[in-house]
Chains A and B, each alone.
Chain A
Amino acid sequence: MRLGMTDLYDLARGCAFLGSGGGGDPHSSLIELEEALGPSGSVELIDVDSLADDAFVAPCGWIGAPTVSAEKLPSGDEAIRGLRKLESIMGRRADAVFPIEIGGSNGLAPMLLAIRAGVPVVDVDGMGRAFPESQMVIFNVAGLKASPAVLTDDKGNCVVIDSADNVTEERIARAVSVVLGASCHLMEYPLTGRQAKTTALRGTLSDALAIGRSIRISRESGKDPFAALFEALRASRQFSSAGVLFDGKIVDLHRETRDGFSLGRATIQAFGGNSRLEIEFKNENLVARVDGMVRAVVPDLITIVDRETAESIVTERLKYGQRVKVVGASAPRALRTPAALAILGPQAFGIQTPYECIELLNHWEGGA
């Protein structure tokens, strides 16, 4: 499949939804792609099964603060320099790239790299949503190594990380990214084709594309974007149980910073009733409770969207008075195993609420 500019806009919309409140604004990435692709260019998206077992596949993404990335825009060379360095370490050229994280603007990260390197993008990712730390990834769950990892910045700096373990890799990468100006490109978890086939979350790019496309088309034709969104989610490969958790207006927002995380709580009041939904977020939305009853827990997706347009709203952009729907969706099955939950479930965020499947919590039919 080849993705043109319209597809990339749809993909960005879908990635924002899968960001579960995290990720950052894809606006500048889209403009960058428009400049690179021109009116008729496209990017090749391939199925993971078309990779040879011994292929070399490179996941990529950006690390830093979205607020900084909005001011210090990319040079356009960060990703390709990172890839070339990784290739020289591995002693071979990469056969394909893919996003380490589908959620938020990182879902678009491999597109420019694919254009520059002349390789296809694989229809997989490592997180199935957005997570705040790079060890919260399926490859870490599967016991694969993050190193060698390569960080590059706009100024020509390139830092290779060869860490003993994957949590240390995250800590080093985070600290170095701040030194380099808080907006860096990161290549990590270099994989073989076989590893990608057995561990990566399959079809998440086409899922995101279908989600974004369905919202756009329904709006263009004057139809209900939510009906289209749920149709796309039900038909998706990884997020098939989904529904509206709540419909109302943001009446309270509380933010604080603890241990270097932006923590917060948003309270949403139902229209014409006293029912309230409370969301705890830490960059991404983590737990949703309706009148004290848990309705969704990380890693299941909790996304706050505009109740008219179905456009996702990231936690940084939440404001009092916004009228929203809170949409929940099941996380990819691979993120719900005990081993995965230990790394990226509620306890990994210091949340005491135990994980329960969103479809059971909400008595949805046809759950996973």
Chain B
Amino acid sequence: MRLGIDVGGTNTDAVLVSGNSVVACAKRPTTADVSSGIVNAIRGVLDAASVTPSALSRVTLGTTHFANAFVERNDLLEVAVIRLAGHAAEAIPPMSGWPKDLRQSITGVSFQLSGGYEFDGRENTPFDEAAIRNAALSIRAKGIQTVAISCVFAPIRRDMEERAAAIVREEVPGVAVTTSANLGRIGFLERENATIINASLVRIASKIMRSIDAALQALGIVAPCYVTQNDGTVATAQFVTGFPVLTFGSGPTNSMRGAAFLTGLEDAIVMDVGGTTTDIGALVNGFPRESSIAVEIGGIRTNFRMPDILSVGLGGGTRIRLNGTAPAIGPDSVGYRLLEDAYLFGGSTLTASDIAVKAGLASFGDVARVPDLPAGMLDEILRRFRQTFEDGLDRLKTSSADIPVILVGGGSILVPKNLKGALQVVTPEYAAVANAVGAAVAQVGGEVDRIVSYEKDGRDATLRELERVASERAVAAGADPKSIRVVDVDETYLAYMPGTHAQVRVKVVGEL
């Protein structure tokens, strides 16, 4: 039996999944220490299903706690940056374009050293072991505990970063090292930014992961523990302790993966209707379609593999103002105060939830408290709700054919069941804990990102080789080789280059 846990800003959810079905779920408030909320939710779900910890085969945790810690500048470390780039990027020092306060508090020291590769894997400049050793000694002298290493074209070849990391570990006892190749894709500045963010988080990551480990032990859980990453696949708890940044976008991903599991639909649009906004994303082959645009975290450009999410300003707590015959819908919301401020619950603010209940779309709260609206107003507001959802659906769709829509989240009652453009609108059972479900069922993945020339071996053989490398990485991360399948091949021909050069990303997943 698989246990999935989602640590959200407000609630910590836990679900038990057996085979293809959810057995039980529990929702408890998130606590400041994270781990006691997790303990409460796990106890809740084990009690609800009457199972003992020994029945668990694996535990998977989804959390955006580390993203929040970074944005709130909570317990960040001073970072030393080592660039292996020769003279490339010298014009743009590490942390250029960062918010000033962060740049000042995180910058320890940085070194621009010989090294790096060209687009085709040739060396840019030679690796300089002595220079790295000197840098390491000066890092040690400054007492810096965490180092970010970024090498030009590291996604194509990792050797230099790994050699540099080994030297730094030799010279600086107990140091934490983050290498950029583990953080993905081509795009030096964005990848380096992610590497530095990660390095700054290793202390809080290790604290939190230790406390979770202790909590699981206290509950008598011996099953292996995994954490979900941005792309919907898992890594071991130990790996995530070193790479907390890989969990930054896991929230929406888990919700969409959960929606796919709960409905059995692999290609669909998922609408997660929350209190303030509705997050709409597309499932392709059971995985979220990824955004092609650089993602900013706390004002810093990164290259995280984030789902392509359209956030529209309509949720259960959205405020409705009546101005004559043209009502104003949002964009503000009563948010978590819905249970106090909405008419339904004795408040005096008209919200989208009041409208939905008044119109008979759902029944909760006290409908008698919702004031009567002028003639035609209710219909007009419902028409506007419909328009917002249909518009969002159309934006995410990639073909003119109708597509299934899966609703999750507490505000899903706002969505009409006969949306234009939708093949069907499904609200699965356990939709309210879709994130935890997504965590429970997460698979393990492998990815490769290269610039290749098709001239030497041809396109087919080249793509097969990339699949092999991605599969190898998935197996190294714990995947069962027999279960591996390709979920995404992204191929972009290089503009302004003679020959047939393309940037190709291949992603595979498999079962643990």
Q: Is A118 an interface residue (CB 8 A)?
A: no
> Would you call B118 and A182 a contact (CB within 8 A)?
yes
Q: Is B494 an interface residue (CB 8 A)?
A: yes
Alpha-carbon distance between A35 and B502 when the two chains are bound, in angstroms: 32
Q: Which of B84-92, B158-166, B334-342 contacts A (4 or more CB under 8 A)?
A: B84-92
Kindly report which residue of chain A lies nearest to residue B282, judged by CB atoms.
Answer: A321
Q: Tell me which residues across on chain B come within 8 A of A181, comparing CB atoms.
A: 118-119, 122, 124
Q: Which of A74-82, A333-341, A345-353, A354-362 contacts B (4 or more CB under 8 A)?
A: A74-82
> Would you call B496 and A64 a contact (CB within 8 A)?
yes
> Would you call B91 and A72 a contact (CB within 8 A)?
no
Q: Is A73 an interface residue (CB 8 A)?
A: yes
> Would you call A65 and B189 a contact (CB within 8 A)?
no
Q: Is B495 an interface residue (CB 8 A)?
A: yes
Q: Which of B11-19, B239-247, B257-265, B397-405 contacts A (4 or more CB under 8 A)?
A: B397-405
Kindly report which residue of chain A lies nearest to residue B291, judged by CB atoms.
Answer: A319
Q: Is B356 an interface residue (CB 8 A)?
A: no
User: Given that A31-B189, A155-B86 are known contacts, is A65 also in contact with B91, CB under 8 Å in the complex?
Assistant: no
Q: Tell me which residues across on chain B come within 8 A of A255, comparing CB atoms.
A: 493
Q: Is A2 an interface residue (CB 8 A)?
A: no
Kindly report which residue of chain B lies nearest to residue A35, judged by CB atoms.
Answer: B96
Alpha-carbon distance between A269 and B400 when the two chains are bound, in angstroms: 10
Query: Which B residues from 389 to 435 make CB contacts under 8 A with A?
Result: 394-400
Q: Tell me which residues across on chain B come within 8 A of A66, comparing CB atoms.
A: 495-496
> Would you call B92 and A71 a contact (CB within 8 A)?
no
User: Given that A34-B97, A181-B119, A251-B399 are known contacts, is A75 also in contact with B89, CB under 8 Å in the complex?
Assistant: yes
> Which residue of A64, A67, A178, A317 contacts B503 across the interface (Cβ within 8 Å)?
A67
Closest chain-B Cβ to A38's Cβ sits at a distance in Å of 12
Q: Is A142 an interface residue (CB 8 A)?
A: no
Q: Is A320 an interface residue (CB 8 A)?
A: yes
Closest chain-B Cβ to A66's Cβ sits at a distance in Å of 6
> Would you call B492 and A67 a contact (CB within 8 A)?
yes
> Which residue of B91, B118, B496 contacts A32 across the interface (Cβ within 8 Å)?
B91
| Residue among B124, B294, B396, B398 facing the most chain A CB atoms (10 A cut-off) | B398
> Would you call B451 and A67 a contact (CB within 8 A)?
yes
> Which residue of A70, A156, A316, A321 contacts B87 across the interface (Cβ within 8 Å)?
A156
Q: Tell me which residues across on chain B come within 8 A of A77, comparing CB atoms.
A: 87, 90
Q: Tell me which residues across on chain A come within 8 A of B397, comparing CB atoms.
A: 321
Please, what's the 1-or-0 string for B22-57, where 1 marks a CB less than 8 Å from any CB in chain A?
000000000000000000000000000000000000
Alpha-carbon distance between A225 and B394 when the two chains are bound, in angstroms: 23
Q: Tell me which residues across on chain B come within 8 A of A36, comparing CB atoms.
A: 91
Alpha-carbon distance between A156 and B124 when the two chains are bound, in angstroms: 11
Alpha-carbon distance between A321 and B451 when the two chains are bound, in angstroms: 26
Q: Tell me which residues across on chain A come within 8 A of B468, comparing CB atoms.
A: none
Please, what's the 1-or-0 string for B67-94, where 1 marks a CB less than 8 Å from any CB in chain A?
0000000000000000000111111110
Closest chain-B Cβ to A301's Cβ sits at a distance in Å of 17
Q: Tell me which residues across on chain A come within 8 A of B292, comparing CB atoms.
A: 317, 319
Closest chain-A Cβ to B294's Cβ sits at a distance in Å of 8
Q: Tell me which residues across on chain B come within 8 A of A256, comparing CB atoms.
A: 493
Q: Is A198 an interface residue (CB 8 A)?
A: no
Please, what's the 1-or-0 string for A33-44, where 1 marks a CB less than 8 Å from any CB in chain B?
011100000000
User: Given that A31-B96, A321-B396 are known contacts, is A74 also in contact with B496, CB under 8 Å in the complex?
Assistant: no
Kindly report which residue of chain A lies nearest to residue B96, judged by CB atoms.
Answer: A31
Count residues on chain A whose CB falls below 8 Å from chain B CBs.
Answer: 49
Count residues on chain B whose CB falls below 8 Å from chain A CBs.
Answer: 45
> Which residue of A67, A72, A249, A269 contacts B88 across the interface (Cβ within 8 Å)?
A72
Q: Tell me which residues across on chain B come within 8 A of A319, comparing CB atoms.
A: 292
> Would you call B496 and A283 a contact (CB within 8 A)?
yes
> Would you call A75 and B497 a contact (CB within 8 A)?
no
User: Given that A132-B496, A175-B498 are known contacts, is A74 also in contact with B396, CB under 8 Å in the complex?
Assistant: no
User: Given that A31-B92, A72-B119, A73-B88 are known contacts, is A154 also in contact with B493, CB under 8 Å in the complex?
Assistant: no
Q: Is B386 an interface residue (CB 8 A)?
A: no
Kindly report which residue of chain A lies nearest to residue B502, judged by CB atoms.
Answer: A257
> Would you call B91 and A316 a contact (CB within 8 A)?
no
> Would you call B119 and A28 a contact (CB within 8 A)?
no
Q: Tell me which residues across on chain A come within 8 A of B92, comparing CB atoms.
A: 28, 31-32, 35, 73-74, 76
User: Given that A155-B124, A182-B119 are known contacts, is A71 also in contact with B187, CB under 8 Å in the complex?
Assistant: yes
Closest chain-B Cβ to A122's Cβ sits at a distance in Å of 23
Kindly report which residue of chain B lies nearest to residue A68, judged by CB atoms.
Answer: B119
Q: Is B186 an interface residue (CB 8 A)?
A: yes
User: Given that A35-B91, A75-B89, A76-B90 are known contacts, is A182 also in contact with B96, CB under 8 Å in the complex?
Assistant: no
Closest chain-B Cβ to A162's Cβ sits at a distance in Å of 21
> Would you call B492 and A316 a contact (CB within 8 A)?
yes
Please, what's the 1-or-0 string for A1-35, where 1 marks a CB less than 8 Å from any CB in chain B?
00000000000000000000010100110011011
Q: Tell me which residues across on chain A come within 8 A of B140, comparing CB atoms.
A: none
Please, what's the 1-or-0 string for A171-191, where 1 marks a CB less than 8 Å from any CB in chain B?
000110010011000000000
Alpha-carbon distance between A181 and B125 when the two chains are bound, in angstroms: 12
Q: Tell me which residues across on chain B come within 8 A of A67, comparing CB atoms.
A: 186, 451, 492, 494-495, 503
> Would you call A154 and B97 a contact (CB within 8 A)?
no
> Would you call A73 and B501 a contact (CB within 8 A)?
no
Q: Tell me which residues across on chain B come within 8 A of A320, comparing CB atoms.
A: 398-399
> Would you call B494 and A73 a contact (CB within 8 A)?
no
> Would you call B496 and A155 a contact (CB within 8 A)?
no
Q: Is A262 an interface residue (CB 8 A)?
A: yes
Q: Tell me which residues across on chain B come within 8 A of A174, comparing CB atoms.
A: 498
Alpha-carbon distance between A109 and B145 when the two chains are bound, in angstroms: 39
Alpha-carbon distance between A251 and B502 when the two chains are bound, in angstroms: 23
Q: Is B325 an interface residue (CB 8 A)?
A: no
Alpha-carbon distance between A319 and B152 when the two chains are bound, in angstroms: 27
Q: Tell me which residues across on chain B come within 8 A of A74, comparing CB atoms.
A: 88-92
Interface residues of A (CB under 8 A from B): 22, 24, 27-28, 31-32, 34-36, 63-68, 70-77, 112, 132, 154-156, 174-175, 178, 181-182, 249, 251, 255-257, 260, 262, 269, 283, 315-317, 319-321, 323
Q: List 25 A-B contacts (CB under 8 A).
A: A24-B495, A32-B91, A34-B96, A64-B497, A65-B501, A67-B494, A72-B88, A72-B124, A72-B188, A73-B89, A73-B188, A74-B91, A75-B91, A76-B92, A112-B91, A132-B495, A155-B125, A181-B122, A257-B500, A260-B498, A262-B493, A262-B495, A315-B495, A316-B492, A316-B495
Q: Top 9 nearest A-B pairs by Cβ distance?
A: A76-B91, A75-B87, A73-B89, A320-B398, A262-B493, A260-B498, A181-B118, A154-B88, A65-B494
